[in-house]
A = this chain, B = another copy of it.
């Protein structure tokens, strides 16, 4: 039996009684399963979200134009431009669970402090000069860094330089909005500390490999690390490829290095709803097609290559972003050494028992 004809199979014959029944349903806020389309319980995930690529060469000028035209401050809170998945009806959701936005902060500007139940991170594809202040701890933002502002931490941003800065914001806003879990609180209109240290206090406490402070021995729901620095990420990837060259198991796949950012108090994901990873492909590497439950967003950090999304190939350059909706097949091919940041909702899928993966397609 073809699934598309499923719901037809059981349709009752038209009659006055049936019309009365259906009116009774409507009048009483009821909705019979047998009139639902097959989409409610599909054979496999068929997201309304669709695969899509956003070009950095398009995004950046629009962000810059926003900087000229749109103020930043209390109220709007952030000059953030959300990637709106073309399949999701105009909502500012890059996928059903994830928010991805380009945030732009002009010279000497401040984005005021607030906090929310939603988990957030920033990833910096280029630029420098902004500090994010998380619960009073100023965190430098530089190229290649991942910065965390987990749920219910106060945070604001300020630009200490005469040049603007643009970066990627990732949050679980769509998930939080649809699941009704959001809380929000305003903080200081300015950031609470305009210091510009090279390293945040969280890094100074936590970023020593394999060592944790005796004063902080409890498990925390999100990572206590405020910034994961590019220097470390780059070195980790470099070492994996060198180890592969030397004949030792280290890479995720042949020619494919990868790290997952983790919460040192648990060994698990950095935040309960968002996984963050960084992938590096050697020039010429082509990955197998994968299908994963849940959605991912990638941003090209460096290099050139191609992504095949649901069978359709697209060229990618530095800064380009793409979304992979649930169960859409994806693979990468590297034209040069190819570096990509990735974030996803995989922790949701794994913690709730829904994760499935398929490698090599069908």
Which residues on A are within 8 Å of B, measured CB to CB? 1, 3, 5-12, 15, 17-18, 20-21, 24-25, 28-34, 36, 39-47, 49, 52, 54, 58-59, 62, 65-66, 68-86, 90-92, 96-97, 101, 116-118, 151, 173, 175-186, 201, 204-215, 217, 219, 221-223, 225, 228, 232-233, 235-236, 239-240, 242-243, 248-252, 257-267, 270, 272-273, 277, 279, 293-295, 325-327, 345, 347-349, 351-354, 356
Report the minimum CB–CB distance from A81 to chain B (whole Å): 5
Q: Which residue of B lies closest to A46 (CB)?
A: B180
Question: Distance (Å) between the CB of A222 and the closest chain B CB?
Answer: 7
Tell me which residues across on chain B come within 8 A of A17, comparing CB atoms: 65, 68-69
Minimal beta-carbon separation of A166 from chain B (angstroms): 13
* B243–A92 touching, CB < 8 Å: no
Inter-chain contact B180/A45, CB cutoff 8 Å: yes
* Contact (A15, B69) CB under 8 Å given A30-B82, A251-B215: yes
The reply to whether A75 and B1 form a contact with Cβ atoms under 8 Å apart is yes
* CB pairs A–B below 8 angstroms (15 shown): A7-B75, A8-B75, A10-B75, A17-B65, A30-B82, A31-B84, A32-B66, A34-B70, A41-B116, A180-B293, A208-B233, A209-B225, A211-B262, A273-B353, A348-B352
A320 to chain B minimum Cβ distance, whole angstroms, is 12
Tell me which residues across on chain B come within 8 A of A354, comparing CB atoms: 117, 151, 176, 179, 181, 272
Q: For A9, what are the chain B residues with a Cβ–Cβ distance below 8 Å?
A: 73-76
Given A69-B17, A211-B232, A180-B49 contact (CB < 8 Å): yes
Contact B252 A215 (CB under 8 A): yes
| 5 closest Cβ pairs, A-B complex | A9-B75, A10-B76, A214-B258, A180-B326, A34-B76
Query: In the complex the two chains form, is A76's CB within 8 Å of B7's CB?
Result: yes
- Tell me the smallest distance from the CB of A106 to a CB of chain B, in Å: 13
Contacting residues, chain B, for A41 (C-beta < 8 A): 116, 118, 173, 176-177, 182, 184
State how many copies of this chain the complex holds.
4
Assess the B209–A77 pair: CB atoms within 8 A: no
CA A121 to CA B181, docked complex, whole Å: 24
Beta-carbon nearest neighbor of A63 in chain B: B30
Q: How far is the CA of A49 from the CA of B178 in the complex (A)?
A: 10
**Is the CB–CB distance between B28 and A75 below 8 Å?**
no
B235 A184 Cβ-Cβ under 8 A: no
Pick the contact of A210: B15, B96, B207 (CB < 8 A): B207
- Given contact pairs A29-B54, A30-B84, a sample of 7 additional A-B residue pairs in the complex whose CB atoms are under 8 Å apart: A24-B62, A29-B84, A36-B92, A96-B178, A209-B232, A213-B260, A222-B353
The one of B101, B184, B243 that contacts A205, using a Cβ cutoff of 8 Å: B243
Distance in angstroms from A288 CB to nearest chain B CB is 14
Measured in the bound complex, the distance between the Cα atoms of B136 and A277 in whole Å is 29
Q: How far is the CA of A90 from the CA of B24 in the complex (A)?
A: 14
* Distance in Å: Cβ of A328 to nearest Cβ of chain B: 10
- Cα(A42)–Cα(B233), bound, Å: 35
Contact B182 A45 (CB under 8 A): yes
Chain B residues near A184 (CB, 8 Å)?
Answer: 3, 41-44
| Neighbouring B residues of A327 by C-beta, 8 Å | 180
